[in-house]
Structure 1
Amino acid sequence: MKTPIAGLHHVTAIASNPQRNLDFYTEVLGLRFVKKTVNFDDPGTYHFYFGDDTGKPGTILTFFPWPHAKRGRLGAGEVAATAFSIPAGSLPYWTDRLGKHSVDFAQSVRFGSPVIAFADPDGMGLELVENTEAQPGVAPRYSDVPAAYAVQGFYGVTLLERRVEPTASVLEVMQYKEIAREGDRVRFSPAGDALGRVVDLLIDRDAEPSRMGAGTVHHIAFRNTGDEDQLAWRETLAPMVGVTPVQERTYFRSIYFREPGGVLFEMATDTPGFLIDEPVEALGEALHIPEWYEPQRPAIEARLTPLTLHKFNRTSESESESESEAAQ
């Protein structure tokens, strides 16, 4: 018996400079650096995980930061924007914060919700959407963003596609339903109120092919509650798309398939999570690698760029709150 998919588990993208990537997502967006590990297929490269205080499914943005990666190109069959949910009424705080960090942004209203659009240092499209979430993530303990304004987790993703129907056919099997249209944008969502439940298809019939590189999304992952649930979904999807065998990712298990429009989809289990190998207070501080790579640890560490993780002391949060109130 399959459990309905609640929404996104994580989004994985490509970056270039590891330290710059770390600084932007922790010091500008205020996310928690949940895990520092390596790319399982390329252990000489980091794999970063950012999220809420514990890396709750639906909050996790991950990166493969290849220091010499060339800039990618957005095109058909690619994620055009990854959107985070911010609390209703927090737009003034975030426009002020982005401005102070010299991040260019644009504001709009989409399906009735205020949206801030901007890009990370590698050009990856990001959005902040005001929304009231029923189950928001927990504000990161080492961020200088006051909890009242902290990113709540994912709002959703926008996929750039040439046509609606091929991608919609897979989303519908995944129990996503079309819920709205606005211009060239078609919105899908499953039932429920989980984080990251929105998938928008932005239709451009003349869109050029995408080119993978820094600033592009490698894949998006949807939630499976556990192993049996994942196997049931694999059986359902196999007649439609080529689905991989189950892959061990230490903090979850995964299956992968490419939807007809070209975006790589993953399904990832909610369990076991990110607390299996370090305490919550120290998440992201040590390099954790799969046990099968442990004999190679000295060589792996020698190839990785040294990093500095800056941690904000919450005792000065009251000062940040005063600044945010002044900004409004």
Structure 2
Amino acid sequence: MYLKGIHHVSAITANAKKNYDFYTNVLGMRLVKKSINQDDPSVYHLFYADEIGNPGTDLTFFEIPNAGRTHPGTNSISGTSLRVPNDKALEYWVDRFHKFKVNHDGITEQNGRKVIHFRDHEDQRLTLVSDEHNQGVSGGKPWKYSSASVENGIIGLGPVKLTVPDAQPTISVLTEVLSFEQVGSYPSSIQGESDILIFATGEGGTGAEVHVEERKDLPRERPGRGSVHHVAFRVENDEELEKWKQRLVEARLPNSGIVDRYYFKALYFREWNRILFELSTDGPGFATDEDVEHLGEKLALPPFFEDRREEIESKLEPLDTSNIYD
């Protein structure tokens, strides 16, 4: 069995309105689902993705209004990347970041790819990565009503970076349990630190990589607004997810059991450095309960929460996500 690549990344925001403004109006991503944190329905769970929320394009946020600032460190998902079509697109994004006063490092190179490292308004650690030479998992398609250039738009999730105090336990889970393979490495930006190791799964490429950074000089991360909660990897269907559950049991990795998130089935576990991983099915998808043309405009509740809609809506701060069409 092989995982198909990255399914989604879920992070933390302290303010859903400001989050929605940045990821739709600045980054031009589409809000494909305005829902709730199913483990705490008093707060929003926002899903941004390509035109229809294809697996591998989805960056999500749990709203935690009282979240403090993040103190970066180890045992963390320390970087999330977003794919753009080619090198030229990065020039567009430099200009756009200047226009919107987004904190960024300009165009640099990482592992033979052109990239822009940048931060959102809550210091979420983000990277735009060019798909110019990608020969692996295909990207998605930007929404035709995006506030940013469709030609240069974000087409999905790129590599995630893990920062750990000891790389070997994490590597053992990636390779021996999840069937990733090491495909390369590149120098750390921190003088004297070990190279960052690259692991890939499935078809490989920008949509299927995990980068592992070993840092013995850092304390454990204290998460807050701007930190990442978990990364999810793609599984073909329910039958395969059951097989992955059995593999985790055999590897003596405690897991959540299969959880029905309605838009996909999920299985959660922590690797040996305590980073939360999720395995998620590709379907049924975000158009299950909404018309594709109107994704994300209204509060979407899975059927098992529908009888609590009035109570749930009364506790949520209003968030206008009605889309304006050209």
TM-score (norm 1): 0.91
**Residue of structure 1 equivalent to 2:183:** 179
Equivalence for 1:290: 302
Look up the equivalent residue of 1:135 and give its one-letter code: S
CA drift at 1:67? 2.1
Match of 2:191 in 1: none
My pick for the range that moved more, 295-304 or 152-161, is 295-304
**d(CA) in 2 for partners of 1:235, 1:22:** 38
Counterpart of 1:102 in structure 2 is 101
**Which of 77, 80, 83 lines up with 1:79 in the alignment?**
77
CA displacement 1:126-168 (0-9 Å, x = unmatched): 0001113562211113212222101110111011111221111
Find the counterpart in structure 1 of residue 282 from structure 2: 270
- Cα separation, partners in 2 of 1:24 and 1:101, compared to 1, 3 Å: same
- The separation in 2 between residues aligned to 1:295 and 1:198, in whole angstroms, is 40
SS of structure 1 residue aligned to 2:17:
helix
Unaligned runs of 5+ in 1: 315-328
The 1:312/1:102 distance shift into structure 2, 3 A limit, reads: farther
Match in the other structure for 1:29: 27
Partner residue of 1:151 out of 149, 154, 157: 154
Cα deviation 1:66-87 (Å, max 9, x = unaligned): 2222122222111111001111
- Matched residue of 2:284: which SS? coil
Which residue does the alignment assign to 2:291? 279
Please tell me the root mean square deviation across aligned C-alpha atoms, in Å.
1.5
Among 239, 245, 249, which residue is 2:250 paired with? Answer: 239
Using a 3 Å threshold, how does the CA distance of structure 1 residues 255 and 191 change in structure 2: closer, same or farther?
closer
Q: CA deviation at 1:295?
A: 2.4
How far off is 1:104 after superposition?
1.2
Q: 1:136 — aligned with what?
A: 139
Q: Are the counterparts in 2 of residues 86 and 150 from structure 1 also a CA contact under 8 Å?
A: yes
Match of 2:192 in 1: none
**Which region of structure 1 is more displaced relative to structure 2, 116-125 or 182-191?**
182-191
Task: Provide the secondary structure at the position in 2 that maps to 1:57.
Answer: coil
| In 2, Cα distance between equivalents of 1:87 and 1:66 | 33
Q: Percent identity?
A: 37
What do the CA deviations read for 1:244-266 (whole angstroms, capped 9, x no partner)? 21001010011111011221000
What TM-score results when the alignment is normalised by the length of structure 2? 0.92
**What is residue 323 of structure 1 aligned with on the other side?**
none
CA contact (8 A) 1:224 1:230 kept: yes
Counting only pairs closer than 5 Å after superposition, residues 165-314 of structure 1 correspond to structure 2 as 165-172=168-175, 173-183=177-187, 184-193=195-204, 196-240=207-251, 241-309=253-321, 311=323, 313-314=325-326
Shift of 1:44: 0.7
* SS at 1:166 equivalent: helix
Question: Deviation digits for residues 65-120 of structure 1, max 9, x if unmatched?
Answer: 12222122222111111001111121110000011010010032111111101111
**CA contact under 8 A between 1:50 and 1:62: conserved in structure 2?**
yes
Q: Which amino acid aligns with 1:121?
A: H
SS across alignment from 1:245: strand
- Shifted more, 148-157 versus 231-240: the winner is 231-240
**SS at 1:246 equivalent:** strand
Q: C-alpha separation between the residues in 2 aligned to 1:217 and 1:190? A: 21
Q: Distance in 1 between matches of 2:316 and 2:26?
A: 24
Write the letter of the residue equivalent to 2:142. Answer: A
- Structure 1 stretches of at least 4 aligned residues deviating more than 4 Å after TM superposition: none
Cα pair 1:21 1:65 within 8 Å, conserved: no
Report if aligned partners of 2:297, 2:323 keep a CA contact under 8 Å in 1. Answer: no
Return the offset for 1:239: 2.6
In structure 1, give the amino acid aligned to 2:313.
E
Unaligned runs of 5+ in 2: 188-194
Aligned length: 312
Alignment partner, residue 91 of structure 1: 90
